[in-house]
Structure 1
Amino acid sequence: MSMEVKTKENSSQMSSEDCNQCHNEWSQESSNGSNDDKTKNDSNFEISSNACTKYWNYFTKDLEEEDIVMISLYNNVDNVLQSGPKCGLVALLMCQSLVLNHNSYLTQEDLFESAKQMGFSKTGEMFSVENMAKLTHRLLSVETEIKVNLNERINELVSHLAKGLPVLVPYDSDANHEPTLLGGQRAHWAIILGFCIIVNKSNINNIDLCGIRDQYNHQLYHLKPKHLLTKCVLDIIDNRKYKKILVYAKQGKSKYLHIWSFNRLCQSNCNLVKTSLKLNKSDIVLPENGGIIKGLNNQCLFVTKNAIVDSRQ
């Protein structure tokens, strides 16, 4: 499966004036922003910097390292470890701080009880993206959108994440929790929290104006989650200037932040065709007339913050 995006016709390159505008508006927002916002951004930068540094050699081993840079955007959430097979519910749980305007958060048990009452789960499993969307809408009072063919939606993914919003993706989990291809026998859920684009520095106009250079890794640039700044990134994607696209992810079996190949995640998402032989079909809820293929295969969930009134307020 290719992770390349079709180039838009007549797609213009990002001009230095556009980058300057991004930088000026960003600077103005930074000077007017609260100390809490600055602290949050600094924390996000530090977390993503540590992760990129840890995996730098792994993701750049086949590239000319001198000329490449990473453009990173990350939205942090607290880790939540799952109790039992509640990976999907835990991924949803981690969404709350990004999409809710209050701190009255639900617990893992709250989500589990609701999923059982709605007939979506028996032991915590969630084998349907559609049911996950309904559960999210009911409990968090926010909108969701089911997307297919994620590998063809890099622009949408980047734009969504740049607004500080999460994406929930089912995939096959390897022993180290990375995406793998086991036909769905280790189906798992992850929350996608950001992206990291590897690109030749020579292909970018004014990178110093469109991102903050990391204080330790000078080949790493951080973007704040503001939609204006994604113009620089979308130019790279529209014109296929990138070498690799990575995503930041968390999931319920580890307390660590992951960086995965976007291409590999899409392949894993599309290989979900059967459940584990160890599972007793009577102990789980599967979509009728299609099972895991109908429920999870080639699907993900974009979670959106909106103005719906929270019934719990």
Structure 2
Amino acid sequence: MISPCHSPPLELPPETPAPQGLTIPPPQHPNFLDLASSPPSCSLQAPTPPPPPLPPPAPALGAAPPLVFGLEKSQLLKEALEKAGPVPSCREDVKRLLKLHKDRFRSDLQWILFCADLPSLIQEGPQCGLVALWMAGPLLLPPNGVPLERIVRVALERGYTAQGEMFSAANMGRLAREVLGCHAELLCGGLGSPNRDRILRHLVAGQPLLIPYDEDFNHEPCQRRGHKAHWAVSAGVLLGVPGVPSLGYAEDHELPGLFHPVPSTACQPPSLPEEGSPGAVYLLSKQGKSWHYQLWDYDQVRDSNLQLTDLSPSRAADGREYVVPAGGVRAGLCGQVLLLTPRAQATA
């Protein structure tokens, strides 16, 4: 059931197992000396005709392209998908972002990445909240969650939405509980104190977080008073710490200073960065307008979430019906997030 809008202090038990990271083996380089070591043989016989060409190799597991809702209706989406290639893993995307924007991340800290891979799906219309819930599905109801069509159908039947929009975090929690059988805890008061440590420990444990925020042109959080209200799912966090605990972490072989929990190994929980430490916490998030992960500064997300107050004037005047709770966007989304946990873990 949906928890009341308060956040009691929660201490992370020392025995909490670390989230499972991915071990990426180093690339295997061909040995060209082996290829050149066998000289061509000489023969007086007629040359043997070349064998028929081999069939194309089967696609590698885990390299499927992103799913796109409404792909058959959009040539632009088809072209973008053809250029996109396989969906990157969370670890690959984070390393790409760290290399690309290394000046954003404090050099006086070491970094620990906790992440869980999420599927990708490009939304059609105002369905960002339903798509975010679908992305979280495999972590809550493994291995595949539930189809997006079922999530949309139940949301329509329960009167939570008219066009796919979700302007109520409380209704989003009810929907998550029904379609995914998970525990949904609604936190009010924003991502800052007293909720901050609770949220970070939830992400360190590998559990998904649904966040309403205002979306900028590059999908990052901004402040538009709710006019660009959007939903994202976070299933990971990048923590900047003065020192990495000695138990259960390994340094990345490509990026010195970046550490990952060692799979199947008990690890010591890190000390969470203090709230007054800027640039030390980044949420690893996905949303329904890109199949890439993004790293968002925690304080930037907090500030965007806290100023969701008004329905977009263009949406209010477009002639369509939307389900907006009593009290409007401020009552339905402002300062609210959802902690989602598989039912078995929530009742353990």
TM-score over 0.5 (shorter chain): yes
Matches within 5 A, 1:1-313: 40-42=22-24, 44-57=90-103, 59-60=104-105, 63=106, 65=107, 67-103=108-144, 105-148=145-188, 149-152=190-193, 153-199=195-241, 203-204=242-243, 207-223=245-261, 229=267, 231-234=269-272, 236-237=273-274, 243-280=279-316, 283-288=321-326, 290-307=327-344
* Ranges in structure 2 where 5+ consecutive residues have no aligned partner: 1-8, 25-88
Partners of 2:264 and 2:222 lie apart in 1 by 32
Partners of 1:44 and 1:76 within 8 A in 2: yes
Instruction: Specify the alignment match of 2:47 in structure 1.
Output: none
- Separation of aligned partners in 1, 2:306 and 2:182: 26
- In 2, Cα distance between the equivalents of 1:225 and 1:262? 26
The answer on whether the counterparts of 2:279 and 2:297 sit within 8 Å (CA) in structure 1 is no
For residues 23 and 101 of structure 2, what CA distance do their matches in structure 1 show?
21
Task: State the alpha-carbon separation in 2 of the partners of residues 227 and 305 from structure 1.
Answer: 22
Distance 2:265 2:213 in 1: 28
CA shift, 1:214, in A, is 0.8
Cα distance in structure 1, aligned partners of 2:148 and 2:339: 20
Amino-acid identity (%): 29
Deviation per residue, 1:5-26 (Å, 9 max, x gap): xxx9xx9xxxxxx9xx99xx98
Q: Deviations 1:54-111 (Å, cap 9, x if unpaired)? A: 3322x23xx4x2x3221211111111111111000000000111111343x4222221
Match for residue 15 of structure 1?
A: none
CA–CA separation in structure 1 for the residues paired with 2:263 and 2:333:
29
Residues 167, 329 of structure 2: 8 Å contact kept: yes
Any stretches of 5+ residues in structure 1 without a counterpart?
1-7, 12-17, 30-36, 309-313
Range with greater deviation from structure 2 (223-232 or 181-190): 223-232
Q: What's the secondary structure of 2:256's corresponding residue?
A: coil
3-state DSSP of counterpart to 1:165: coil
Structure 2 vs 1, CA of residues 79 and 220 (structure 1 numbering), >3 Å: closer, same or farther? Answer: same
TM-score, normalised by the number of residues in structure 2: 0.69
Aligned-partner SS, 2:171: helix
Equivalent residue pairs, number: 266
SS at match of 1:156: helix
Report how far residue 229 of structure 1 moved. 3.6
**Residue 78 of structure 1 aligns to which amino acid in structure 2?**
P
Distance 1:181 1:261 in 2: 14
Instruction: Tell me what 2:70 maps to.
Output: none
CA gap 1:147/1:307 in 2 versus in 1, 3 angstroms: same
The two structures, once aligned, show a CA RMSD in angstroms of 2.9
Instruction: With a CA cutoff of 8 Å and minimum separation of 6, indicate the structure with the bigger relative contact order.
Output: 1
The structural deviation recorded for 1:261 is: 0.6
Whichever of the two has the greater Rg, that structure is 2
* Cα distance in 2, alignment partners of residues 242 and 143 from structure 1: 31
Give the drift of 1:215. Answer: 0.7
Deviation at 1:280, TM superposition (A): 3.2
| Greater share of helix | 1
